[in-house]
Amino acid sequence: MVIKATEIDPRFKHVVSKIPGAEKIMLCFQCGTCTADCPIARFSDSYRPRRLLRMTQLGLKDRVLSSDVIWLCAACFTCVDHCPQDVEIASVLRALRNLAVEEGYMPIVFKELASNVLETGYAYKIPELRLRRRGEMGLPSLPKANMESVTKLFEVTGFSKKMERKT
């Protein structure tokens, strides 16, 4: 990989390390335990958590945040349990994704999940038929979420604005 000095943002690692869960990013000494134990890396040619952590330490902000690869972590947390430096790798990946969203990158599936929650309180739109069938199956009816509160939480956490943005 060729790296140009001009694409390095030396502040990036500090930005990441201020995010809860990603504090220990600079402790990564590139042993590769995360990648060796990662179930996704086993079947992916491109997902390598060790490499993403090094790129972050180096300050390759744009390359990392625009990469599709950061969205492949399944959050199984095997790497978190195995890291000898106690780096929460899966949480660093989550921090990188959150930052990618700030830059306008968000896979469509997350837009759908977010708009479902904003519309119904649930991450999936439960079909009317299914809701009606609950009675026949002997199940109590599903409680309705408090949409006023859910909408408010989207607003006060600043996420509503991010959803409006075109990417």
Partner 1 sequence: MPKYLFFLGCVIPYRISSYEISTRKVAERLGIELVEMPDFNCCGLPLDPVSHRLMLALAARNLCLAEGQNMNIMTLCPGCAGTLRKVNKTLKEDKGIREEVNGYLKEVGMEFKGTIEVKHLMQVLAEDIGFKKIKETVRKPLSRLSVAEHNGCHVLRPVKYIGFDDPENPTILKNLVELTGAKCLDYMDETECCGAPIIGVNDKIPLQLARDKLSHIKEVGAQAMITVCPFCHMMFDLNQPRIEKAFNETFGIPALHYPQLLGLAMGIDPEELALKDLRVDASKIVSVL
Residue numbers at the binding site for partner 1 (CB under 8 A): 19-21, 39-40, 43-44, 71-78, 80-81, 88, 90, 94-95, 97-98, 101, 106-107, 109-110, 112-114, 117, 121-124, 126, 130-131, 133-134, 137-140, 142-146, 148-150, 152-159, 162
Q: Min. distance of Cβ 4 from partner 1 in angstroms?
A: 29
Q: Min. distance of Cβ 162 from partner 1 in angstroms?
A: 7
1 or 108: whose CB is closer to partner 1? Answer: 108
55 or 95: whose CB is closer to partner 1? Answer: 95
3-class secondary structure per residue, the chain? CCCCHHHCCCCHHHHHHCCCCCCCHHHCCCCCHHHHHCHHHHHCCCCCHHHHHHHHHHCCHHHHHCCHHHHHCCCCCHHHHHCCCCCCHHHHHHHHHHHHHHCCCCCHHHHHHHHHHHHHCCCCCCCHHHHHHHHHCCCCCCCCCCHHHHHHHHHHCCHHHHHHCCC
Q: Min. distance of Cβ 85 from partner 1 in angstroms?
A: 14
Q: Min. distance of Cβ 131 from partner 1 in angstroms?
A: 8
Distance CA 74, CA 60 (A): 23
Q: Min. distance of Cβ 153 from partner 1 in angstroms?
A: 4
26 or 40: whose CB is closer to partner 1? Answer: 40
8 or 123: whose CB is closer to partner 1? Answer: 123
7 or 77: whose CB is closer to partner 1? Answer: 77
